[in-house]
Amino acid sequence: MPKSVLDAIKLGLWDFEPEVMERGQYDATNELPGSDQKLDILAARIATGEPLWHPSDRRDCEDMDIDVTRR
């Protein structure tokens, strides 16, 4: 039995559904959407069979602590 959708595709199992996980079973991320760090976390989730999205993942760029005067 594959543990991730990628493993299932390699085996030709096109109707694979990953096991349902509760939010406490895997960690949320505060990385910025679209950042390399966020993409790395999403790739790791796929590889380990975790859901791609966590309900508490950061979804926007609000409340960023960035000095907009620097360029």
Question: pTM here?
Answer: 0.68
The DSSP letter of residue 23 is: G
Dump pLDDT digits (tens) for 9-46: 899 998 887 777 887 889 999 999 999 999 999 999 98
Q: Is the pLDDT assigned to residue 70 strictly greater than 70?
A: no
The first and second tokens of residue 67, run together, are 């000095």
pLDDT score at 19: 78
| Predicted local distance difference test score (pLDDT) of residue 11 | 93
Contact in structure between 6 and 46 (CB atoms under 8 Å): yes
What pLDDT does 65 receive? 64
The residue ranges of every structural domain in the chain are: 24-61
User: Of 19, 37, 18, 21, nearest to 29 (Cα)?
Assistant: 37
Q: Are 14 and 59 in contact (CB under 8 A)?
A: no
